[in-house]
Amino acid sequence: MTAISSAARAQAQDLLDFIDASPSPWHAVATCEARLKAAGFYRLDEVDRWTLKPGNRCYVVRGGSSIVAFTLGSQPLPESGMTLIGAHTDSPGLRIKPRPAEDHGGMCRLGVEVYGGPLLATFADRDLGLAGRVHLKAGRTHESRLVHFAEPLIRLPNLAIHMNREVNEKGLKFNKQTELPLLLGTSDAALPADDRFRQLLAERLAVNADDLLTWELAACDTQKGSFWGVDREFFANSQLDNLASCHAGLSALIAAGDTMQTCVLALFDHEEVGSESAVGAGGSLLGDLLQRIAGACGLDAEDQRRMLARSFFISADMAHAWHPNFPAAYEPCHKVMINAGPVIKHNANQRYSTDGASAARFMAICEKAGVPCQQYAHRTDLGCGSTIGPILAARLGIASVDVGSPMWAMHSVRESAGVIDHAAMIAALTTAFTQQ
């Protein structure tokens, strides 16, 4: 029997609630912002001049889909550096095009782009909703509003096996242009698809359809998170990669309270598409903020460099758990098991930022937190994924480690992970923020 403490169960339930409230990266940032505000953090705007002092708890949002929160510690930055935790707010999936709706053979369909690398077949036959943000005319300018259709609205029905006889041997494949459009309804001769879609959005937002300018919308799963397994030791939800790490980092920052060291939590959009954007980890966001925090604390350029040289970055992203049905997919000496603790990810080709020293540092953090940890390396004959770790390590020159909780079915619309692992990750990250 897997013994699960009530505290671990509550943390996992809190994660499922966090994800259910965060069906898009914009919603994820809004959910984080609400939790930070409730914990006493206040918002800084990038267009203002900042003055900061020890004890300040602040956050910055860029572009609505990336957020950086920090607690200024009591120790001087050049002497203590910062502890940073990073994760990403985006998940792979289907994004609605700017002019998506078309009437096709008597049906109204929405055209999609494939965002990142989803397991496309998992989106078929799901009860899908829509979530994201809509941009509206507002006088001489515009405003953006979040929108979430949490009920089943759109669908990608499978082709019956009678027309796809080899699907179980050859796998489920879609032509991305012609076979992925999502069904929205039966065509209406009196209302073209485009007008109908605009009306749908306008009604949901209680605005005039003429005021709709454009939108950023993702197909989202409407099924809420759930526990499964004989001891309910696993959970399933959409976007565990990487909202589970966002939630763990956020929980750690809030639990850490007032700290001696300065703690930074940086959650970025666009990891799944390479991070090269104004809000992504490859952009200037974190570098700009660290420089501004240091400047607002009165550090000169020399002391800013000393601060970075003493800092430590933990890149938290999910890891691949060993799957008993597919043993050949794994490196046999690096089997990572669900509910056996946080995973340190290694790759000699720097797809992960971990080196021996940073791995040792994270092992010590886990030991201090009283949680086990595991080590992962990908099969040598398979291409390895990457994370924001190497990108930020290169940009900032900070010692970095790549870690994550083990999970199954990465990039499925319904991923799975372990209750004990999530609690262990929160414990390790909280220890990283509070250990000095």
Contact residues for Zn ion, defined by CB under 5 A: 241-242, 317
> Do residues 246 and 388 lie in contact, with contact meaning Cβ atoms separated by under 8 Å?
no
Q: Which residue is nearest to Zn ion, using beta carbons?
A: 242
> Do residues 227 and 401 lie in contact, with contact meaning Cβ atoms separated by under 8 Å?
no
Smaller CB separation from Zn ion, 317 or 415: 317
Cis peptide before 175, with omega less than 30 degrees from 0? no
**Three-state DSSP class for 417?**
strand
CB of 6 to Zn ion, least distance (A): 29
Smaller CB separation from Zn ion, 80 or 242: 242
CB of 304 to Zn ion, least distance (A): 30
* 289: alpha, beta or left? (left if phi > 0; alpha if psi -120 to 50): alpha
CB of 408 to Zn ion, least distance (A): 14
Q: What string of DSSP letters covers 169-230?
A: HH-----TTTT-PEEEEE-BTTB-HHHHHHHHHHHHHTS-GGGEEEEEEEEEE-SPPEEEST
CB of 90 to Zn ion, least distance (A): 9
Phi, psi of 54 (to 5 degrees): -50, 140
Beta bridge partners of 415: 237
Smaller CB separation from Zn ion, 297 or 426: 426
CB of 129 to Zn ion, least distance (A): 22
Kindly state the tokens that stand for 428: 């390790």
CB of 84 to Zn ion, least distance (A): 17
Smaller CB separation from Zn ion, 201 or 403: 403
Smaller CB separation from Zn ion, 90 or 216: 90
Burial of 290 (0-12, 13-18, 19+ CB in 10 A): buried
Q: Are strands 319-320 and 406-408 parallel, antiparallel or unpaired?
A: parallel
CB of 64 to Zn ion, least distance (A): 20
CB of 197 to Zn ion, least distance (A): 31
Smaller CB separation from Zn ion, 57 or 270: 270
Smaller CB separation from Zn ion, 134 or 410: 410
Smaller CB separation from Zn ion, 20 or 317: 317
Between CA 324 and CA 41 the distance in angstroms is: 44
> Do residues 104 and 177 lie in contact, with contact meaning Cβ atoms separated by under 8 Å?
no
